[in-house]
């Protein structure tokens, strides 16, 4: 099972809140380069990072932010 971030959803949220991807990376405790890789789908968030992202997006459900795929 692979979990990916739904980058379109996250980008829309960032635009609505007038926040940047760098702001999100800082809040999530990762580098801006790693956040960029998460957003383009080349990396997958760990369970701990998924928890932190859920805390950053309190008005979203898990399925709003993440996509679960079979290998």
pLDDT digits (tens, 9 = 90+) for 14-57: 999 999 999 999 999 999 999 999 999 999 999 999 999 999 99
Going along 1-71, which residue ranges are E strands? Answer: 2-5, 66-69
Half-sphere exposure of 16 (CA within 13 A, CB side): 8
- pTM score, two decimals? 0.89
* CATH of the domain spanning 2-69: 1.10.260.40
Enumerate the domain spans of the chain: 2-69
Asked if the model's pLDDT at residue 71 lies above 80, the reply is no
Per-residue pLDDT at 70: 84
* Confidence bin at 59 (pLDDT 50/70/90): confident
């Amino acid at each position: 099972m692979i979990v990916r971030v739904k980058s379109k959803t996250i980008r829309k949220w960032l635009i609505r809140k007038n926040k940047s991807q760098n702001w999100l990376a800082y809040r999530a405790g990762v580098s801006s380069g790693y956040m960029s890789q998460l957003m383009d789908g080349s990396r997958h968030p760990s369970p701990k990072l998924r928890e932190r992202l859920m805390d950053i997006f309190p008005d979203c459900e898990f399925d709003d932010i993440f996509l679960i795929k079979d290998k």
